[in-house]
Amino acid sequence: MPTSKPTVAVYKFSSCDGCQLSLLNMEDELLDLANAVEIAFFLEATRASKPGPYDIALVEGSITTEHEVERIKEIRSQTKVLIALGTCATSGGVQALRNFADADNYASVVYDHPEYLHFLKTSKPMSDYVTVDMELWGCPVNKAQVIEVIVSLLNNRKPNLPSYPVCLECKRRGTICVLVDKGIPCLGPVTVAGCGALCPTYGRGCYGCFGPSRNMNFESLSAITQKLERYPGEAFRLFRGISGYAPDFRKTADAIPSTSKETK
Amino acid sequence: MKTIEVPALARVEGEGGLYIGLQDGKAVEIRLDIYEPPRFFEGFLLNRFLQEVPDITARICGICPVAYQMSSAFALENALGIKVNPQARALRRLMYCGEYIESHALHIYMLQAPDLFGKESAFELAAIAPDVVKNALRLKKIGNEILKAIGGRSVHPVNVCVGGFYSWPDARSLNDLLTELEWGLQASIDCAKWAMTLPYPELEINYEFVALHHPDEYGVIEGEIWSSKGLKLAISEYETGYIEEHVSRSNALHGHTIDGNTYLVGPLARLNLNHEQLLPNAQKALKDSKLKLPLINPYKSLIARAIELVQFFEEAIQLVTDYKPEGPAHVELNLKAGEGAGATEAPRGLLYHRYKIDDRGLIQFAKITPPTAQNLPRIEADLMAMAPKLVKMSEDDATRTAEHLVRAYDPCISCATHFLKLNVEEVR
């Protein structure tokens, strides 16, 4: 262990605040955490700040403006370990749905004074602009995983994070499969675990907010989901949701035949 | 000219800055700069299926996702002409209890209290008042535990749907909360007493207060939109009284009344308009505080929040005790074209949604008016009113006092920058 406490900085980009709130929601661990590390920059929690460089940066949100591109580059240059915190930071988030908008339609954007605004046409993960050392998925992130990542860094070991899909969490909880038993479309078979299989536990299908699990059979689940649709276009919308810009979900949605997408 | 500049406001939700130019004892320029980027929610809601809406709108705000889910659900239920069953409605109020408790405890102790103690953060506050901060975290945790018991997690819970809930939460997991809720009720009564002892800056403003009012309960869901100037509107009539406007320096819309006046939403508005509907313990906390209503000092919103903490602990205990899940947790949806508005009270104030849907249940139009957009012009006007006092202070004190004023509003900047519409993916 180093003799001085590692410095931690927390930043927010385009997002809802829910992932940095997960830090403040560590009611049982927050004060211990504040003792174990030096919180050098965390605007939502404190006015006090220390200049970089920082050992760890936890960064929430996606990159949606030129200014944010500059900011993430600056943060990268000041940080040893850059952690992308949550689905916005790792996939562009729900606001990345605008990436699929027809660029030409921007001319017909309906607002009073578009000239007042400065934004990029896309909402993208920070890894599109800088090297990210670790990605923590989830909308929001699971705070137990955030603690695991920080503790592993403090102890110089690899964090123990699941790479398996939500299905295994259902099995472990003893939750009856909503897809097999009730025929409810569910992204659990292809979504990475971490939430604790919440949606199936409440009798609904997973909507993929923790993002895709690696090397899953997306095509097969897509075919099944298209057959189980409860309203036209459900399969397409399910893959094109909260984590819809994540490459595996993006490609799966793109591959759905246009006749099976919402018909206008 | 003397200036107060805060490039990045701390201990508020989202990204904003503050600029005040002072001359001859007056403020000549005031800007609350919102540089949180817009995220276009009303754009990409278009063409989504109505049952997806509560999951999407939750993502507008990590601190008050329940308010977004609920305003959506109520609006869409109104569009379909359906009502949730009484137990589901009660469970929705219980979710609000959880959200108010976590949000108010966060704001009172971790965002605003450090200002009243001259500290930079709750971490610093913990060094001089460890028990205050430990109790604060315990209070906040109870709110989050309520949300977890009903919706699986406290940020973006997964159980709310149009029509009610996906399934009834387990009665035992709710009952398990009772011991902590009883502790929280007492702790919040103590919090309200403590709140009265704090050294608030002096500022009194003749506000127009606007809040939901319900004759039978403390207004949070459903009811009418009341103004302290006497205007009473059905929720569906909201837009006839209040409008939003796009101003150049900001990524948020600014709200005002149809007559062009600023108005205030949030805890002060609710307490002043709805104190008669408070439950007995909250009534007593208000009486014991010897507060004179209307409470018109924005810094003292903290006291209103503390009294609301008592209210929501008290209500949570009732709702948990009376919880009897029977029959289906949600009503079946019969899709038809329609339009519906919904409004609920988020912890930081009135939150209004309106949607149009087609006969397949797809969203054709979405409008969302968050509380902070309505309060932004009021925050600027308050800073203007505070200016004569700010000029007499040292630069550091003036900056802190101005920042404190902004923070006392509990602005939610991510919420305020939801707006703007664009055409989303045209599906072939």
Residues within 8 A of B (CB atoms), A 158-187 only: none
B253, B244 Cβ separation under 8 angstroms: yes
Query: Residue B136 sits in which domain range?
Result: 2-416
A130, A193: one domain: no
Q: What is the pLDDT of residue B254?
A: 75
Residue B427, domain member (yes or no): no
B336 interface with A at CB cutoff 8 Å: no
Residue A2, domain member (yes or no): no
Q: What is the pLDDT of residue B17?
A: 86
Q: How many CA atoms lie within 13 A of A205 on its CB side?
A: 26
**A205: closest CA of chain B, how far (Å):** 10
Picking from A166, A232, A224, the residue whose alpha carbon sits closest to that of residue A195 is A166
- The residue of chain B nearest to residue A232, with distances taken between CA atoms, is B360
Comparing CB atoms, the residue among B63, B167, B425 nearest residue A17 is B63
B10 interface with A at CB cutoff 8 Å: yes
Q: Do B38 and A117 touch (CB under 8 A)?
A: yes
Picking from A164, A255, A158, A175, the residue whose alpha carbon sits closest to that of residue A213 is A164
Q: Do A111 and B39 touch (CB under 8 A)?
A: no
User: Which sign, positive or negative, has the C-alpha torsion B338, A237, B368, B169?
Assistant: positive
Residue A111, domain member (yes or no): yes
Residue A60, domain member (yes or no): yes
Q: What is the pLDDT of residues B158-193, one digit of tens each?
A: 999 999 999 999 999 999 999 999 999 999 999 999
For residues A141 and B247, the model is more confident at A141
**B213: closest CA of chain A, how far (Å):** 28
A123, A176: one domain: no
Residue A86, domain member (yes or no): yes
Q: What is the pLDDT of residue B413?
A: 77
Residue A17, domain member (yes or no): yes
How far is C-alpha B378 from the chain's CA centre? Answer: 16
A195 interface with B at CB cutoff 8 Å: yes
Residue B421, domain member (yes or no): no
Residue B423, domain member (yes or no): no
A120, A14: one domain: yes
How far is C-alpha B308 from the chain's CA centre? Answer: 12
Residues A18-36, mean pLDDT to the nearest whole number:
91
Q: What is the pLDDT of residue A3?
A: 57
H or E, element range at A239: helix A234-239
B59 interface with A at CB cutoff 8 Å: yes
Q: What is the pLDDT of residue B418?
A: 47
SS3 of residue B119 by DSSP = coil
The Cα A122–Cα A91 span in angstroms is: 11
Q: What is the pLDDT of residue B308?
A: 98
The Cα B306–Cα B187 span in angstroms is: 10
B171 interface with A at CB cutoff 8 Å: no
B17 interface with A at CB cutoff 8 Å: no
Collect all residues of chain A within an 8 Å Cβ-Cβ radius of residue B120: 46-48
Using a 10 angstrom Cβ sphere, with 0-12 exposed, 13-18 middle and 19 or more buried, the burial of residue B26 is: exposed
At A158, the pLDDT band (50, 70, 90 cuts) reads very high
- The residue of chain B nearest to residue A196, with distances taken between CA atoms, is B152
Collect all residues of chain B within an 8 Å Cβ-Cβ radius of residue A102: 423, 425-426
At A264, the pLDDT band (50, 70, 90 cuts) reads very low
Q: How many domains does chain A have?
A: 2
A175, A231: one domain: yes
**B260: closest CA of chain A, how far (Å):** 17
B134 interface with A at CB cutoff 8 Å: yes
Residue A159, domain member (yes or no): no
Q: Do A196 and B152 touch (CB under 8 A)?
A: yes
Collect all residues of chain A within an 8 Å Cβ-Cβ radius of residue B40: 95, 98
The Cα B76–Cα B184 span in angstroms is: 34
A11 interface with B at CB cutoff 8 Å: no
A117 interface with B at CB cutoff 8 Å: yes
Q: What is the pLDDT of residues A185-223, one digit of tens each?
A: 999 999 999 999 999 999 999 999 999 999 999 999 999
**B385: closest CA of chain A, how far (Å):** 24
Comparing CB atoms, the residue among A16, A31, A67 nearest residue B126 is A31
State which of A132, A154, A176 marks the end of a domain.
A154
Using a 10 angstrom Cβ sphere, with 0-12 exposed, 13-18 middle and 19 or more buried, the burial of residue B241 is: middle
Residue A67, domain member (yes or no): yes
CA–CA distances in Å: residue B102 to residues A41, A206, A215, B27? 23, 26, 39, 36
A103 interface with B at CB cutoff 8 Å: no
Q: What is the pLDDT of residues A84-136, one digit of tens each?
A: 999 999 999 999 998 987 643 533 444 555 555 677 889 999 999 999 999 99
What is the pTM for the complete model shown? Answer: 0.94
A144, A175: one domain: no
A15 interface with B at CB cutoff 8 Å: yes
**A71: closest CA of chain B, how far (Å):** 13
The Cα A237–Cα B426 span in angstroms is: 13
Comparing CB atoms, the residue among A45, A46, A98 nearest residue B424 is A98
Query: Residue A210 sits in which domain range?
Result: 166-260
**B246: closest CA of chain A, how far (Å):** 6
Alpha helices, DSSP H, located in B26-129: 41-44, 53-58, 65-80, 86-105, 113-116, 122-128
State which of A120, A154, A188 marks the end of a domain.
A154
A142, A209: one domain: no
What does residue B357 show for φ and ψ, rounded to 5 degrees? -125, 155
A87, A134: one domain: yes
- The residue of chain A nearest to residue B245, with distances taken between CA atoms, is A112
Q: Which two tokens stand for residue B225?
A: 């939109």
Q: What is the pLDDT of residues B312-370, one digit of tens each?
A: 999 999 999 999 999 999 999 999 999 999 999 999 999 999 999 999 999 999 999 99
Q: What is the pLDDT of residue B329?
A: 97
Residue B278, domain member (yes or no): yes
- pLDDT at residue A30 is higher than 70: yes
- Give the domain CATH number at A95: 3.40.50.700
Q: Do B59 and A94 touch (CB under 8 A)?
A: yes
Collect all residues of chain B within an 8 Å Cβ-Cβ radius of residue A139: 59, 156
B418, B370 Cβ separation under 8 angstroms: yes
Q: What is the pLDDT of residues A195-205, one digit of tens each?
A: 999 999 999 99
Residues of chain B where predicted confidence (pLDDT) is lower than 50? 418-428
Residue A243, domain member (yes or no): yes
In angstroms, the first-to-last Cα distance of chain A is 61
Q: Do A101 and B15 touch (CB under 8 A)?
A: no
A144, A192: one domain: no
Using a 10 angstrom Cβ sphere, with 0-12 exposed, 13-18 middle and 19 or more buried, the burial of residue B86 is: exposed
Q: Do A98 and B43 touch (CB under 8 A)?
A: yes
Comparing CB atoms, the residue among B133, B246, B424 nearest residue A113 is B246
Q: What is the pLDDT of residue B138?
A: 97
A32, A100: one domain: yes
The Cα B116–Cα B132 span in angstroms is: 13
A108, A220: one domain: no
Q: How many domains does chain B have?
A: 1
At A137, the pLDDT band (50, 70, 90 cuts) reads very high
A108, A39: one domain: yes
B275-300: burial string, b at 16+ Cβ within 10 Å, e else: bebbbebbbebbeebebeeebbbbbb
- Give the domain CATH number at B258: 1.10.645.10
A118, A199: one domain: no
Collect all residues of chain B within an 8 Å Cβ-Cβ radius of residue A119: 37-38
SS3 of residue A14 by DSSP = strand
Q: Do A47 and B121 touch (CB under 8 A)?
A: yes
Q: What is the pLDDT of residue B330?
A: 97
The Cα A7–Cα A79 span in angstroms is: 10
State which of A94, A128, A154 marks the end of a domain.
A154
Residues within 8 A of B (CB atoms), A 216-235 only: 231-234
The Cα B350–Cα B344 span in angstroms is: 6
User: Which sign, positive or negative, has the C-alpha torsion B87, B92, B96, B98?
Assistant: positive
Comparing CB atoms, the residue among B9, B167, B421 nearest residue A110 is B421
